[in-house]
Chains A and B, each alone.
Chain A
Amino acid sequence: MGTLSRGDVEHVAHLARLGLADEELARLEIELNHILDQYAILARLDTDAIPPTAQTIELENILREDVARPSLPQSEALANAPERDAAYIVVPAILGGD
Chain B
Amino acid sequence: MPDAGLTRLTAAGMSERLRAGDLSSRELTEAHLALAARENPALNAWLMIDAAGARAAADDADARLAQARADGPPALAALHPLCGVPVGLKDLVSVRGGQATAGSRILAGYVSPYDAHITERLRDAGAVILGKLNMDEFAMGSSTEHSAYGPTANPWDLGRVPGGSSGGSAASVAAGHVPLAIGTDTGGSIRQPAAMTGIVGLKPTYGRVSRYGIVAFASSLDQVGPLARDARDAAMLLHAIAGRDERDSTSAPLPVPDDLLHLPASDEEAAGHLRGVRLGLPREYFVAGMEPGVEARVREAVGALEAAGAEVVDVSLPHTEYGLAAYYIVAPAEASANLARYDGIRFGHAVRGGDVLANYLATRGSGFGPEVKRRIMLGTYALSAGYYDAYYLKAQKVRTLIKADFDAAFGAGIDALVAPTSPLVAWPLGAKLDDPVAMYLTDACTLPVNMAGLPAISIPAGLSDGLPVGLQLIGPAWGELELLRLARGFEAITANAAWRGLEPAGLSALRSQEVGVP
Which A residues contact B (CB, under 8 angstroms)? 1-2, 4, 8-9, 12-13, 15-21, 24, 28, 31-32, 34-35, 38-39, 41-42, 45, 47, 50-57, 59, 62, 64, 72, 76-77, 79-83, 89, 91-94
Contacts and interface: CB of A to CB of B under 8 A. Distances in A.
Contacts of B340: 17
Contacts of B374: 28, 31-32, 35
Given A41-B321, A42-B322, A57-B453, A52 B380 contact: no
Nearest to B387: A2
A5 to B, nearest CB: 12
Nearest to A46: B397
A12 B377 contact: yes
A57 B450 CA distance: 12
A80 B377 contact: no
Interface string B355-371: 11111111011101010
A70 B53 CA distance: 26
B395 interface: yes
B377 A18 contact: yes
A18 B322 contact: no
Nearest to A50: B397
A77 to B, nearest CB: 7
B250 A52 contact: no
10 contacts: A1-B390, A12-B384, A38-B325, A42-B326, A45-B398, A56-B220, A56-B477, A57-B250, A83-B352, A94-B355
Interface of B: 110-111, 113-114, 205-207, 220, 246, 249-250, 252, 319, 321-322, 324-326, 328-329, 336, 340, 343-348, 350, 352, 354-362, 364-366, 368, 370, 373-374, 376-378, 380-381, 384, 387, 390-391, 393-401, 403, 436-437, 440, 452-454, 477
Nearest to B383: A15
Contact of A89 (B346, B370, B387, B394): B346
Given A35-B374, A52-B400, A94-B356, 4 more contacts: A21-B365, A52-B396, A56-B206, A57-B207
A82 B344 CA distance: 7
A18 B373 contact: yes
Contact of B361 (A17, A31, A50, A80): A17
Most central of A47, A81, A82, A94 by chain B CB within 10 Å = A82
B380 A16 contact: yes
Contact of B347 (A50, A57, A81): A81
A39 B400 contact: no
Most central of B362, B365, B387 by chain A CB within 10 Å = B365
B355 to A, nearest CB: 6
Contacts of A20: 365, 373
A42 B206 contact: no
A98 to B, nearest CB: 13
A58 to B, nearest CB: 9
B390 A2 contact: yes
Contact of B400 (A50, A76, A91, A93): A50
A89 B345 contact: yes
Contacts of A89: 345-346
A57 B206 contact: yes
A35 B113 contact: no
Contact of B207 (A18, A32, A59): A59
Contact of B346 (A32, A41, A80): A80
Contact of B436 (A21, A31, A55): A31
A16 B380 CA distance: 6
A9 B377 contact: yes
Contacts of B364: 16-19
B384 to A, nearest CB: 6
Nearest to B365: A19
B203 to A, nearest CB: 13
B364 to A, nearest CB: 5
A51 B397 contact: yes
B373 A52 contact: no
Contact of B336 (A16, A45, A55, A62): A16
B76 to A, nearest CB: 34
A55 B400 contact: no
Contacts of B329: 39
